[in-house]
Structure 1
C-alpha cells in the first residue's frame, strides 16, 4: 500500500476553512464523515424514527455536500473513497422516492428499506406513524418491522 505524505499546514487550514464555511462551525471533516457513517449504520439496521427526524439527521450529508467542493483537491482525493462507500451503503439501505430524480440532494429523496414501528400502531397507506405524511404509498421494497 502506497503511503501518502501528511497534510501540510496550509491544507489543514484549508480544510478547517471549508468546514467552517459549509457546516456549523463546531464540526470537523472527521466528525461530519463519522456522523454520516453512524446514520448509514442506523438506517442499515432499521430506522426507528420519523421522516422529519430522518430529514434532520441528514444534516451531516448536506453539510458534506457543502464542504466537499471547498476542500483542497488532495484531501478530496484521499477522502472520496470513504464518502463514496458511505453513500453506496446508504443507497443500498434505502429506496428512491417513486418518480423523483436522483440528482442534487439525492439523500433527501430516499426511504429506509426497514422502518421500525410500535406493535399495533396505526398505518396510513402502509406507512407507520411519523411517515404518514409521505406523498406516495409505501413502496413494497420498504418493510415495517415491529
Structure 2
C-alpha cells in the first residue's frame, strides 16, 4: 500500500493535473471506478485485517520483543490508511464521480479535489511507510 500511495503522491496526481482538468478528472474518475473492481480492494481489506490482528497480538504479548512495534505499526496503518481513506479520500472520490468532467462545475471540483485529496494521500503514504518499518522491525527483533 505504501508504494501505491507513494506513486499517487509523487507523480500520478501531478501528471493527471498537468494533462488538463477535463482529461485529468476523467482519468481519475476511471481509476476510481476500476480500482474497486481490481485486486487492490481485497488486498486493501486483507492488509487492514492483518494489521488489526497484529496490533491485537502485540497488545496480548505486551512486554515481549517487538510487541510495541506491532501495536504502533498496526494501529498507525489502521488510523493513517484505513480511517483516512474512509473519512477523507473516498468521500472526495465520490464527489469527483458525481461531477461531469466537461460540466460547468468541473474546474472548481478538480481544484478542490487536488487541494484536499493529495494531502490526505500524503498522510496515507507516510502512515503506510512508517507502519511497514515498524512491522518489519517487530519481526526482526523476535
TM-score (norm 2): 0.33
Give the structure with the higher percent helix: 2
Determine which structure has greater relative contact order: mean sequence separation of CA pairs < 8 Å that are 6+ residues apart, divided by chain length.
2
User: TM-score if structure 1 supplies the norm length?
Assistant: 0.32
Identify the structure with the greater strand proportion: 1
